[in-house]
Amino acid sequence: MKITITDNGPYKVEGTASLELVGPDGAIVPVDRDTIFLCRCGGSTTKPFCDGTHSRIGFEGAMAAVKQAD
């Protein structure tokens, strides 16, 4: 499995065939693809999956925020 933090976007998770994704209530969240994108901005209407909201709300990931603060 490989997890990539995208610039100002979601976590890209590859190799999810055997991944067990568990929600906060303990319920299994079905994963039916080999690659998924998990929301990092908090605005997705399809949580835990990304729906592209980060682009509309101007989300800036932690790495961008750290660079601006220097």
User: Rounded mean pLDDT of 7-31?
Assistant: 91
Binning pLDDT at 50, 70 and 90, where does residue 68 land? low
Number of domains in the chain: 1
pLDDT tens-digit readout, 20-67: 999 999 999 999 899 999 999 999 999 999 999 999 999 988 765 565
Q: What secondary structure, in 3-state letters, does the chain show?
A: CEEEECCCCCEEEECCCCCCEECCCCCEECCCCCEEEECCCCCCCCCCECCCHHHHHCCCCHHHHHHHHC
CATH of the domain at 29: 3.40.5.90
Q: Assess whether pLDDT exceeds 70 at residue 13.
A: yes
Domain of 40, in residue numbers: 2-69
